[in-house]
Structure 1
Amino acid sequence: MGAKMLVESDPYETRIALLEEDRLTEYFLERRHQRGVVGNVYKGRVTRVLPGMQAAFVDIGLERDAFLYVADVLPALPPGEEGDLDAADLLEGDAGNPSIDTLLRAGQELLVQVTKDPLANKGARVTTHVTLPGRFLVLLPTVRHLGVSRRIEDETERARLRARLEELPAEGGGLIVRTAGQGRDAADFAADHAWLSSAWRRIRDGAALVSAPALVHQDLDLALRVVRDRFSADFTVLWVAGEETYSRIVEFLDQVQPALVSRVKLDREERALLERFDVDRSIEAALKPKVWLPSGGYLVINPTEALVAIDVNTGRYVGRSNLEETALATNLEAVVEVVRQIRLRDLGGIVVIDFIDMMERGHREEVFAALERELTKDHAKHKVLAISEFGLVELTRERSRTNLERQLTTACPYCQGVGRIPSPATVSLRVRRAVLRLAAAAPARELLVRCHPEVARALRDSERGILVELERELGARVLLQEDAETHQASFDILEV
């Protein structure tokens, strides 16, 4: 059936869906007033240097100062050093780094690029090592490095690609062949290199003309960025709703990958594109903690501040033979859905998967191998640890943008994001204690408790003994007034 890319754009937002076998696997959203800043290049000013954290804060003109780690300030690699790193690897340092205060000082101006959007109460993360991605190459203006994407595994092809890199003009920087560069010829690389080099010259010259903080280069908008990074021969079609966006995508592809232009189709149907492919319903399901598996098993996904916990359960599935085989079958089925949900929800940081316990080591290894295979579909950088004897798998996944839940939802004002509220029985007992305190301070003949209808119902039914006790001990009437506008955990006590 092949993969499909759907792009739907209007004056308020751009939405992009990636479908595999007509199932939603990834979703990208950019609203006009919430456009991300990853990839943007700024001329910033250092506001604070923190040797204890080996980091500095840089004013780049956003609401919060950006965070700059020492590894992102280090000088470029020595001339001629090569390797198989990808762009992200070049931003990671080691324990031998010099102190940050020997590299930066407060008030210093420098050119930085955003590598992570601001998240929650954290500012953006930036690096001084700018990376400019093209269709087939990544230009590294500050790093002397030639490399090939780790996703290209054939050694003969890797050697050929590295030879092509060495043929390109040396301008003091570095280059990495992207996965899309596999099988490409010298002309493709030369055109990509010329385009990227021109972009870097514009950035460098523009930075010299402005004072910090200032935006020097804005990355492509979401539609062109996803098309650049993800659209390939693996996709059978790219449907676009909106003539302006369609024209821009065709024009862009004509420059960077003309062979794929014929796969771009303008959607003219009256019914909304993403609605036709059932994307909206899939998104609604992805915001819920429980995900059903075809066999009757299910996943429970719980994101927390520290990590994301994913629990696998057999549910209604009872299997056909024994418990061990049932656990294996459910876990293998869960692997596919777990990875799909990680990609769709864009879950990052530490993820812990609690598979159903399996006694046989071979079964645990089979599930782990299936998980590793499925994770090859994920474009985000990740690291996974072997499955434990208890069925736990820990993995880390790169977090570079706001995840689906944070993009589409806000904390519930009723429960403050906890997801649970005090039960009517709990609130009824709080009412009892509050009435006793009030009566001890100022005895009254009649008290009115204004509370949520569910609490009032409990006080008249399951907790009715509370009112009987209060009236007997205090010698006063205790009246109830239902108020649907009152929070279930709140109440007022008035003297009448």
Structure 2
Amino acid sequence: MTHKRMLIDAAHPEETRVAVLNGNQLEELDVESSTRRQLKGNIYLATVTRVEPSLQAAFIDYGGNRHGFLAFSDIHPDYYQIPVSDREQLIAEDEEARAAVTETDEDEEEEDLDPKDTNPSSKAIETIGGDDIDEVEDRRVNKPIRHYKIQEVIKRRQILLVQIVKEERGNKGAALTTYLSLAGRYCVLMPNTGKGGGISRKIGNNIDRKRLKSVVSTLEILEGMAVIVRTAGAERGKAEIKRDYDYLIRLWNEIRELTLESTAPALIREEANIIKRSLRDVYTRDITDVLVEGDEGYRAAKDLMKILIPSHAKKVQPYKDSTVPLFSRYHIETQLESMIGREVKLKSGGYIVIDSTEALVAIDVNSGRATRGRNIEETALKTNLEAANEVARQIRLRDLAGLIVIDFIDMDFHRNQTSVERRLKEAMHKDRAKIQIGRISPFGLLELSRQRMRPSITETTTDTCPNCGGSGIRRSTESTALHVLRGIEEDGVRYKDSEIEVNVPTEVALYMLNYKREALAEIEKKHDFKIIISENNTLIPPQFTLVQHGAPAPHQTDKVKQNGTKLEEDREPAGNETKKRKRRRPRRRNKGIAATDSSPSNTKPAEDISANSFEKDSVEANEPNNETPKKRRRVRHKKSAINQTKNVNSSELESTPPAVAAENDAALSKANDNVKTNSTETDYLNPEKHSPVTKRPDGNSNVTIVGTDDQVKNTDDTRRGWWQKLAD
């Protein structure tokens, strides 16, 4: 006789694991991480954030990562904002409908217990398994009540007490309901559901059902509440069921008191942790012992067992072997490793492959090296029968849910297909989730749907691969090399006359240098740039980067006109000037005559200055162009300024005292003597080769330019280039 054990690994607070062993084979597994705690069953005080008439649903802020989804059919009439009389009538109709559903279910269950029942495989789709807690949702009436719509009875910012019935997954928020349920060891209390209680459908013994109905009738259930007796209470007496019911009533009173003191959104009650859930829902009387690793976990399990089943508290024992971990002692770690992989070996030599996609879970059965049959049909039948048991076990252990498609090995005879279907259904009866199983199609496919109890073991213990993004594949080295070459050639025009560095993964760099040298040389010759291949182990195919070297920055590039003159905006800054000068529209050369320097070195008869300037302005004004009125006003302005300057300079020259004039002449003579004295030491000040002050070629001396004649000429050409550019 094999021993059945429950093992609880609570040695690390970050992760707690619970396993049920039947002999040496793993039958049940549950894992809870501190960073991914289960939300299903939690009760929140929440707020309505948006009412969506197109969906006939509301989005609820309960304090989670995303807003929850609340369907109109899951909203209790107590929350309807309608007259009291209408609300009472709706509640009465709702309770009558639930009572009718309960009676119909019980009648159907009694008919199902008829010994004359036909072959179960005669139905196209058969429902098996399911937890007692999930029957609460099945007993609800999900049809809309009367003629109301959600936008008429539910308003934004309304406060609701909700419970999570489906976990968040991907981009989908949690599914919520206002019909609450509290699960105990033997009972499930529905505090705001007047009708719909009864006995679990999984209790098949007709005698037990009648006895439990009489027990429930003596519980004095409060008005507006309902109770469902769970499968674990099938053989329990009145005292044990009554004690469990009283515990749930006390729990509901605590929830009500905490709700009145809280402000939405707030967590009102958190569903039990993994240890409590396992002892409440998974533990059965045929389990011989419960071994717990970890002091805190042991104390929690011991105290809880004293409350749930006091007579079984002695079965909870601490694991004391410090040399070998609990799961390693019973060879569970090796079985867990195989659960994460996609391939599972069968004893006959065959194997099954499990792949999860967004739409469904695909399971493929292969014969592999199985050769036990006398012919192909017998080999296929034996492999499929063995695979049916293993598929049911893997679905239960991995918590696979949703649509599942199994591709069995093709069989020619219909009786063999029926045998495989029957074997799979028998193996699925151990599952606590609700399952709907179809039949094998002509293509050899069997479809089934499994209720999602909690996140799968893969979602709980793994993360998406950053290299492949969860696809399990990546681009090959050859394809990545060609991808890089195309990228270089596509951007080749921008890298002309420069040097580019191509960073690629190591294997791609080796492939390109060994097999694509000619292609690289051809690209270099075609686009006139140099390519450097560098390895970068942080990159993942087909990733690569291009870095440009050797090309000057855009602000340092020489923009040369057709005559070869360098533009002023591209000249390097002089002296300590680090910032690029702001480009401004240059003024006309004669605009600042009124501010002319009157130093002796720049002194010139005002008549000559005015005459030259006036002649130039007259020529410019008389040139055939499309002048605007604004330009004509500027010309008149300048003529007026010239006349004023002429008068001012003339008066200054006439009014200069003789003593001041003599003083100025003496200072000028002294400066010239100093220049001649220093000419032997500083050749660049020799007046024969250089001139410290040079007049503009056009004769204007309103701007002083220091430098050689060539520098002055270049500067003047540069300024003419600016002017010509802006004029164009």
Q: Does 2:51 match 1:49?
A: yes
Q: Does 2:238 match 1:220?
A: no
Q: Which residue of 2 aligns with 1:336?
A: 389
Letter in 2 for 1:133: A
Which of 120, 133, 137 is the equivalent residue of 2:170?
120
- When the two structures are superposed, what TM-score results if normalisation uses the length of structure 1? 0.93
TM-superposed deviation, 1:95: 5.0
TM-superposed deviation, 1:384: 1.4
Give SS of 2:188's match.
strand
Q: 1:442 to 1:241 in 2, by over 3 A?
A: closer
Q: Does 2:402 match 1:349?
A: yes
TM-superposed deviation, 1:259: 3.0
- Counting only pairs closer than 5 Å after superposition, residues 84-233 of structure 1 correspond to structure 2 as 84=105, 86-91=132-137, 93-96=141-144, 99-143=149-193, 144-172=195-223, 173-233=225-285
TM-superposed deviation, 1:31: 2.6
Equivalent pair of 2:136/2:181 in contact (CA under 8 Å): no
TM-superposed deviation, 1:134: 0.8
Q: Which residue of 1 aligns with 2:444?
A: 391
- Counting only pairs closer than 5 Å after superposition, residues 261-410 of structure 1 correspond to structure 2 as 261-270=313-322, 271-410=324-463
Letter in 2 for 1:273: L
* CA distance in 2 between partners of 1:91 and 1:294 (Å): 40
Letter in 2 for 1:112: V
TM-superposed deviation, 1:150: 1.9
Equivalent pair of 2:495/2:529 in contact (CA under 8 Å): no
Give SS of 1:269's match.
coil
* CA distance in 2 between partners of 1:175 and 1:99 (Å): 30
Q: 1:288 to 1:210 in 2, by over 3 A?
A: same
Give SS of 1:105's match.
coil
Letter in 1 for 2:470: G
* CA distance in 2 between partners of 1:71 and 1:4 (Å): 42
Q: 1:237 to 1:463 in 2, by over 3 A?
A: farther
Q: Does 2:261 match 1:243?
A: no
Range that drifts further, 419-428 or 391-400:
391-400
* CA distance in 1 between partners of 2:219 and 2:200 (Å): 17
Equivalent pair of 1:146/1:165 in contact (CA under 8 Å): no
Give SS of 2:267's match.
strand
Q: Which residue of 2 aligns with 1:3?
A: 4
Letter in 2 for 1:140: M
Letter in 2 for 1:360: F
* CA distance in 1 between partners of 2:450 and 2:32 (Å): 22
Q: Which residue of 1 aligns with 2:712?
A: none
- When the two structures are superposed, what TM-score results if normalisation uses the length of structure 2? 0.64
Q: Which residue of 1 aligns with 2:310?
A: 258
Which of 72, 75, 88 is the equivalent residue of 1:73?
75
Which of 27, 39, 42 is the equivalent residue of 2:41?
39
Q: Which residue of 2 aligns with 1:59?
A: 61
Q: Percent identity?
A: 36
Range that drifts further, 203-212 or 371-380:
203-212
Q: Which residue of 2 aligns with 1:24?
A: 26
Q: 1:456 to 1:23 in 2, by over 3 A?
A: same
* CA distance in 2 between partners of 1:131 and 1:481 (Å): 63
Q: 1:207 to 1:446 in 2, by over 3 A?
A: closer
* CA distance in 2 between partners of 1:18 and 1:445 (Å): 68
* Residue-by-residue CA offset, 1:196-234 (whole Å, 9 max, x unaligned): 111111112221222221222222221111111111113
Equivalent pair of 2:436/2:450 in contact (CA under 8 Å): yes
Identify unmatched segments of 5+ residues in structure 1: none
Give SS of 2:480's match.
helix
Give SS of 2:255's match.
helix
Equivalent pair of 2:188/2:230 in contact (CA under 8 Å): yes
Letter in 1 for 2:537: A
The structure showing larger relative contact order (alpha-carbon pairs under 8 Å, at least 6 residues apart) is 1
* CA distance in 2 between partners of 1:398 and 1:487 (Å): 38
- Which structure shows the bigger proportion of residues in helix conformation? 2
Range that drifts further, 5-14 or 189-198:
5-14
TM-superposed deviation, 1:347: 0.9
TM-superposed deviation, 1:460: 4.5
* Residue-by-residue CA offset, 1:398-455 (whole Å, 9 max, x unaligned): 1132211111111111112221111111111112212222334444586543211221
* CA distance in 2 between partners of 1:248 and 1:476 (Å): 72
Equivalent pair of 2:483/2:542 in contact (CA under 8 Å): no
Range that drifts further, 74-83 or 64-73:
74-83
* CA distance in 2 between partners of 1:135 and 1:58 (Å): 31
Q: 1:242 to 1:100 in 2, by over 3 A?
A: same
TM-superposed deviation, 1:280: 2.7
Computed over aligned residues only, the root mean square deviation of the Cα atoms, in angstroms, reads 2.4
Equivalent pair of 2:496/2:528 in contact (CA under 8 Å): no
Give SS of 1:180's match.
helix
TM-superposed deviation, 1:158: 1.6
Equivalent pair of 1:4/1:22 in contact (CA under 8 Å): no
* CA distance in 2 between partners of 1:148 and 1:363 (Å): 37
Q: 1:466 to 1:16 in 2, by over 3 A?
A: farther
Equivalent pair of 2:181/2:189 in contact (CA under 8 Å): yes
* CA distance in 2 between partners of 1:269 and 1:322 (Å): 51
Give SS of 2:217's match.
helix
TM-superposed deviation, 1:247: 2.3
Equivalent pair of 1:425/1:463 in contact (CA under 8 Å): no
Identify unmatched segments of 5+ residues in structure 2: 78-93, 107-131, 550-728
Equivalent pair of 1:60/1:213 in contact (CA under 8 Å): yes
Range that drifts further, 340-349 or 450-459:
450-459
* Residue-by-residue CA offset, 1:157-182 (whole Å, 9 max, x unaligned): 22222221112112021111111111
Range that drifts further, 245-254 or 178-187:
245-254
Q: 1:321 to 1:282 in 2, by over 3 A?
A: same
Q: 1:228 to 1:91 in 2, by over 3 A?
A: same
Q: 1:160 to 1:489 in 2, by over 3 A?
A: same
Equivalent pair of 2:498/2:529 in contact (CA under 8 Å): yes
Equivalent pair of 1:113/1:128 in contact (CA under 8 Å): yes
Equivalent pair of 2:52/2:58 in contact (CA under 8 Å): yes
* CA distance in 2 between partners of 1:224 and 1:89 (Å): 21
Give SS of 1:436's match.
helix
Give SS of 1:227's match.
helix
* CA distance in 1 between partners of 2:535 and 2:38 (Å): 46
Q: 1:46 to 1:317 in 2, by over 3 A?
A: same
Letter in 2 for 1:207: T
Letter in 1 for 2:75: V
* Residue-by-residue CA offset, 1:72-120 (whole Å, 9 max, x unaligned): 2245533855344854344355455553334422221121112222222
Equivalent pair of 2:26/2:335 in contact (CA under 8 Å): yes
Q: 1:269 to 1:474 in 2, by over 3 A?
A: same
Q: 1:145 to 1:463 in 2, by over 3 A?
A: same
